[in-house]
A = this chain, B = another copy of it.
Amino acid sequence: MRQPGDQADQAAAGRDPEAVSKFVEGFAAQLVEAGMQRMPSRVFAALLASDSGSLTSAELGEQLRVSPAAVSGAVRYLSQQHMVSREREPGSRRERYRVHSNQWYEALTNREAVLKRWESALSDGVTSLGADTPAGRRMAETLAFFEFVDEEIAAMMERWRVHREERFGQG
């Protein structure tokens, strides 16, 4: 793949680890603040900051100074959320984890599942408190809002794909 000491190697391995780490920890902190667990956040940020967009379990463990177990847990979570995909390097038992540059933010917007559950809870609320009560009406309106958002987000993502293609070409 690559030889020790060549430029690509420097970029991948060296690349001012200081700066990389600073970004990784800073961005991860923002994700944590937004409600994501710490370790998945750090792993995700590390992948985002990697040149190839993919790292092995060992590389992640080393870079973040955590155990293989922690990497394993974080990666399981991220792939359940469709924020990374896993691939096996052919002819090795090493696994690589990858951010697909378009896949991941679609996943982030994909609060769709979350919205659906909110909608369902609200709908129950309207029924059990009564559609003709003030509280019921408030909840019905809220429900309508989320339904509206659902549709709008789908349309927005469609527009983004077009916008993106114009600006960046297909990733």
Contact = CB atoms under 8 A, between A and B. Distances in A.
Interface of A: 11, 15-16, 19-20, 22-23, 26-27, 30-31, 33-36, 48-53, 99, 101, 105, 109, 111, 114, 117-118, 121-122, 124-125, 128-130, 133-135, 138-139, 141-142, 144-146, 148-149, 152, 156, 159-160, 163-164, 167-168, 171
A23 B142 contact: no
A128 B160 contact: no
A19 B171 contact: no
Contact of A129 (B20, B117, B118, B149): B20
Contacts of A34: 35, 111, 114, 118
Nearest to A126: B23
8 contacts: A16-B128, A19-B129, A23-B128, A26-B124, A27-B118, A33-B114, A144-B168, A145-B160
